Structure 1
Amino acid sequence: MADLISTTTTAIQLVSRLREVNKNIANAEFNNLIADLSIELANMKVQVAGLIEEHDSLRRQLSSKNNPELTFKEFAYYSEDGDGPFCPGCYDSDGKKVRLAKFSGAFKTFGSHNCPVCKAAFGGT
């Protein structure tokens, strides 16, 4: 998006140069068109700057919603609202929030939870 602002700025500079060239031409319609073009380009530059600001704001909001702060407790990570447990190996190495699955039946001898991605076992029996 920064390229859009740069392109718009260049276009505005070109309009200014056209005005300089046009000083030798006495065509009122040409002058009016250049003035209209200048106004439209300035409006476009303001709108693009607004879109960039909105885009950055939305990106920050989305990032904060998708990556809430996790706290390590006992053997795994949990979110502030108690959601979890999440695999510490996957979160620490790749930043991925992978929910741990509970072992059942005979598999409880390996621990209380396992990670479906890295296959690690966690927790006591």
Structure 2
Amino acid sequence: MDPVTTTVAVMTGVTQAINITKTLKELDLKLNEAEGKLKLADLYIALSDVKMNVADLKAAILDKDDEIKQLKEQLQLQDEMQYNGVFYFRALGEKKDGPFCAQCFDSEKKLIRLHNYMSGWWECKTCDSRYEEDVNSGAQRRANTRVAIDYDPLDY
């Protein structure tokens, strides 16, 4: 049940409980005891419904709070990420963490750390993307992404 519907149900249940209580108060003492017990049973049922609806409302609010927290964390991560043309780095104050795979972050928002498997070469162990870093200029370029690699520099 969505929070608006649950709130309406809670208010309806509270109104019923109040009306039943007023009726009990106004009951003529001469009426038979069975009618009073019936009204009390109606009151218990109405209050039980209110209690269940309040619990549903609380669960819905907690779910929304979790969703808001996750969205805030995603926004913060997006703000912290810096792209240098090939790699992603995460800015943490004055420090930079990374490099992270651009393919994995762009497609799935996953921070997968690249591994320097050979001088000037970086590799993602998740998607098999490889990147080459030009040590003379400091520039990087993507070597390939999700493509079967025919040449492995470590293979002689």
Shorter-chain TM-score: which interval? 0.5 to 0.7
Q: Secondary structure at the match of 1:84?
A: strand
Q: Which protein shows a greater Rg?
A: 2
State the partner residue of 1:114. 123
SS at match of 2:98: coil
Number of residue-to-residue matches in the alignment: 106
Percent sequence identity over aligned pairs: 18
Question: Structure 1-normalised TM-score?
Answer: 0.64
| 1:100 shift after superposition | 0.7
TM-superposed CA distance for 1:36, in Å, is 1.3
Partner residue, 1:44: 52
Tell me whether 1:93 sits opposite 2:107 in the alignment.
yes
Q: Partners of 1:51 and 1:95 in 2: how far apart?
A: 28
- Contact 1:113-1:121 at 8 Å conserved across structures: yes
The gaps in structure 2 that reach 5 residues or longer are: 21-33, 135-156
Secondary structure of 1:98's counterpart equals coil
Unaligned runs of 5+ in 1: 20-25
Structure 2 CA distance for aligned equivalents of residues 116 and 50 of structure 1: 42
What letter corresponds to residue 79 of structure 1 in structure 2? Answer: R
Higher helix share: 1
Q: Please give the TM-score of this superposition, normalised by the length of structure 2.
A: 0.54
Cα distance in 2 for partners of 1:45, 1:84 equals 48
**Higher strand proportion (structure 1 or 2):** 2
Cα distance between partner residues in 1 of 2:116 and 2:72 = 28
AA in 1 matched with 2:86: F
User: Is residue 2:84 matched to residue 1:73?
Assistant: yes
